[in-house]
Structure 1
Amino acid sequence: MSSWGRSTPPIDAPEWKDVVRHRVLSARSVLQRHRWARRVLETRTRRTAGVLAYMDSFIGMFLQRGFSADLTHHVMHAIGSRMWGFTQELFDDPEAGPAGPAAVEDGAAEQAALQQMAALFPNVLRIAMASSHDGEGVVGRGCDDQFEFEFALDLLLDGIEDPRASGWSSAGLRTGS
């Protein structure tokens, strides 16, 4: 397990929201202690085994609690960098190249790489295969950027409606952590 995974361990809770919230806030705590780490995460165009393992575990939190692979795919886009404990802008540098493992030219080598990926990171592969993809995505290679943006926006707006309708206020709720 990567040091990142040890720093942000999942919890076993009955509610999926509690599990995900704990994981994201744990990651945020790590970044608050290691402020340089955010820039490292933002500037890497290739995903390491440690990063993929963390993502696989994060995806598993949804899949193990009844989310479909398709919904999990879109939820991961909506959560975005929050899974690492921070937020970032949508627009990446298209000149930086694709994220993920380097492209493999040889068909046999590509097949071997996919088999290794499936064995090591089955949840990542499952959601990657669950959705259709366009060829020019910025958010995730081949993903429909406009759809993902609108999906996340609608989730936020829907989530904001309940507190608005109930007259919610943050007064007295802030914990300082």
Structure 2
Amino acid sequence: MADRDGLELLTMRKLGQKVGVEAMSLYNHVANKEDLVDGMIDLVFGEIDLPARGAAWMPAMRQRAISLRAVLSRHRWAVGLMESRTNPGPANLRHHDAVLGNLRAAGFSVEAAAHVYSLLDSYIYGFAQTQMSLPFDAAEEIVAMGKEMLQQFPVDEYPNLAEMIEHAMKPGYDHSGEFEFGLDLMLNTIESAFHGVGDPELPVDAV
């Protein structure tokens, strides 16, 4: 129901109707809607690929990021709620523990693992949020919107913007491909900064 209509339209009354019971009966199973959302978020976490034990950190973090973004595209209502739960469920806890465990096993210190986790999640959730706010989904919609935008302003006044719109209108362009480009750039930068293990080399004025 949340995937189809959004979380704001999901009410205990509508849920009760969906499962064929009175809304009050649901409170035998959940304390309130927030409790329900905790369980829903835990189900979402359960869909994300976890790093396998002993997996190399870069491919593990790459696959986890791609999987997380795919899961968020199926459950758009969950984007801003994934890291907000004060009562996380077992899948939520298992996910965070596995990601941190993979980084720690690769030799990252606790401090470095925190840096990497924060950096990657900021990128993943930020990209997902941005993509969901775009006024198009399919490539055909990009072309149609691009043509309309080019007609609305004088191209010679905004040549760089016009160039970018024309780039996005080219056959085969997929905005979602920008995600993996940025992800690989970030992972390679982390590898270079951390040398694969331990703490990053901090600037002299940061020490």
Give TM-score scaled by structure 1 length.
0.41
Larger radius of gyration: 2
Select the structure with the greater relative contact order (CA < 8 A; seq sep ≥ 6).
Answer: 1
Q: If the length of structure 2 is used for normalisation, what is the TM-score?
A: 0.36
